[in-house]
Amino acid sequence: GNSVTQMEGPVTLSEEAFLTINCTYTATGYPSLFWYVQYPGEGLQLLLKATKADDKGSNKGFEATYRKETTSFHLEKGSVQVSDSAVYFCALFALRGDTGRRALTFGSGTRLQVQP
């Protein structure tokens, strides 16, 4: 079945540090890949996406590259800010088993804490 594995948190960084959150996946067919973010007290929101191999998704200074050969979609940011403190979820959109339908499958989330 489809699955997403993320590095466990929390990840604690100082402001302006470099961020990497690892994400690997297992999927049927050719999934689209996503990073969603959940800020404290808010709902999940889409951060960035990539729909095919070698695509790079980017938004708000975050980037992730769809690596088919390593089945990975690691999230990176060159200089984090306190306002980036949140929980980050890697997700894939792919066929679910033999249903012939697609759905979003999430990883367990990685909490990022950025200290001033």
Complex with other proteins: residue 34 or 62, whichever CB lies closer: 34
Say if residues 27 and 79 touch (Cβ distance below 8 Å). no
Please state the separation of Cα 106 from the chain's center in Å.
Answer: 9
Q: How far is residue 17's CA from residue 32's CA, in Å, rounded to a whole number? A: 29
Which member of 75, 89, 112, 114 binds other proteins (CB under 8 A)?
Answer: 89
Q: How far is residue 55's CA from residue 63's CA, in Å, rounded to a whole number? A: 10
Find the part of the chain contacting other proteins (CB under 8 A) among 53-61, 63-71, 74-82, 94-102: 94-102
Torsion of CA 79, 86, 61, 116, to 10 degrees: -30
Q: How far is the CB of 67 from other proteins (least distance, A)?
A: 18
Per the listing, tokens 């894939």 go with: 92
Binding of other proteins by 98 (CB under 8 A): no
Q: How far is residue 24's CA from residue 103's CA, in Å, rounded to a whole number? A: 17
Report 4-63 residues binding other proteins (CB under 8 A).
4, 32, 34, 36, 41-46, 49, 51
Number of residues that bind other proteins (CB under 8 A): 27
Q: Which residues bind other proteins (CB under 8 A)?
A: 4, 32, 34, 36, 41-46, 49, 51, 89, 91-93, 96, 99, 101-109
